Amino acid sequence: MFTENKQLRLFLLLLLVGSALAAVPLLNGGSAADYMLTPAIAAILVALLTRRHDERLPRLFFVAYLLIGGVYLLLALLNVFLPFADFYKDAEAILPLLSLPLWFLLWFESAERRRAYGLQGGCWRQCALIAGLYVALLLLREVVFACLGENEFSLPAFLVDGAAWSFLLLQLPLGFFFSLVNILGEEYGWRYFLQPLLQKKYGLRRGVLLLGVIWGVWHLPVKIMNSPQQWHFLLLMQIITCISLGIFYAWAYLKTDNIWLPVILHYLNNSIVGFVSGNQAADEALATVSEMLLSGLLLLAVDLALFGWAIFSPCFRADNGRLPTMNERAEKKY
């Protein structure tokens, strides 16, 4: 049996190797979609390699996810070295369709197998309330930044915008259904696998803060691609965002023990913020150092006020508040 320390080291090694491979097409002008799959791929590989004799492994779902993610990454790499073939564009076109059989395989796995590896849902009423709170906080965040001159968002215009409500009510849930490969990619690695291990090793609060830093630094290739001249500042902004949002996601996960809630929150963040801000925010080039410092301080203050408060909630103070690690959950040692 692999110890949890060995599993942690194996996860970080697989994440590093997978991210390095996925960064090659990303830094050559490709999409970040395949890069975002690497945390889940690393977590699934750790499960298959270290717990391969466990009869409750959801093997069909895990292997299918690895095949989809592996083929997608391979096509992205081929597109770098054989650009005339345009493999990556074809892969992006079919990726949403591959979510359909993946949903079926997830449903096909027994509830016991899903529960043993953190894929079973639950506490859906509480999840809905937290998701609603999160949407409200995201919109409030845009309002605050608009008041501070950081974006051009207008809440009154948004509330009467038919296209906006069409997006929220129709495209948003449909997009979630066709995005299983992508939306599970980060949260299954960060929240399901890494959060309990870091909290067990470093404590409930320090573990989540360390996870936020790791999550933020992991975005380095994305920031270099977005702005080769100011990547260092964008990376700092990303770390601030990942720490604050990571606190809220961790709180939501601790409250519900439902990995699908942080998955939904992450999806809402990527979809709604990009939609309401017109993709203007974080990655725009800033002209001066003073602008950078001001934007960084504003982001730190606003994000910590809106999302970071959760670290002071009771679930971060309770001695038994930590969720089980992969081994503990699979072996019911909690």
**Residue boundaries of the structural domains of the chain:** 4-331
Cβ pair 265, 209 in contact under 8 A: no
Average pLDDT over residues 98-111: 92
Which helix H or strand E contains 262, and what residues bound it? helix 260-268
Q: Please, what sign has the CA dihedral across residues 150, 152, 157, 162?
A: negative
pTM for this model (two decimals): 0.93
Contacts of 6 (CB under 8 A, 6+ apart): 50
Cβ pair 262, 191 in contact under 8 A: yes
Judged against a pLDDT cut of 70, whether residue 88 lies above it is answered with: no
Judged against a pLDDT cut of 80, whether residue 281 lies above it is answered with: no
Judged against a pLDDT cut of 70, whether residue 241 lies above it is answered with: yes
pLDDT score recorded for residue 213: 96
pLDDT tens, residue by residue, 8-33: 999 999 999 999 999 998 887 777 78
pLDDT score recorded for residue 87: 62
Indicate the DSSP class of residue 193. I
Q: What is the mean pLDDT of the chain?
A: 87
CA 331/CA 324 separation, integer angstroms: 10
Cβ pair 292, 286 in contact under 8 A: yes
Among residues 249, 240, 230, 124, the alpha carbon closest in space to that of 186 is found at: 249
pLDDT band at 256 (very low <50, low <70, confident <90, very high): very high
pLDDT band at 286 (very low <50, low <70, confident <90, very high): low
CA distances from 54 to 45, 47, 50, 117, 183 (A): 14, 9, 9, 11, 26
pLDDT score recorded for residue 61: 97
Strand runs labelled E in 184-296? none
Average pLDDT over residues 155-162: 78
pLDDT tens, residue by residue, 170-218: 888 888 998 898 899 999 999 999 999 999 999 999 999 999 999 999 9
Give 285: exposed, middle or buried? Use CB within 10 Å, 0-12, 13-18, 19+.
Answer: exposed
In degrees to the nearest 10, what's the CA dihedral of 27, 230, 212, 154?
A: -100
pLDDT band at 80 (very low <50, low <70, confident <90, very high): confident
* 31 or 256, which is more confident: 256
Q: At what angle do helices 124-147 and 231-256 cross, to 10 degrees?
A: 150
Judged against a pLDDT cut of 60, whether residue 285 lies above it is answered with: no
CA 104/CA 31 separation, integer angstroms: 27
Q: What six digits make up the tokens of 197?
A: 């291990």
Contacts of 178 (CB under 8 A, 6+ apart): 96, 97, 99, 100
Average pLDDT over residues 241-263: 96
- The one-letter amino acid code at 39 reads P
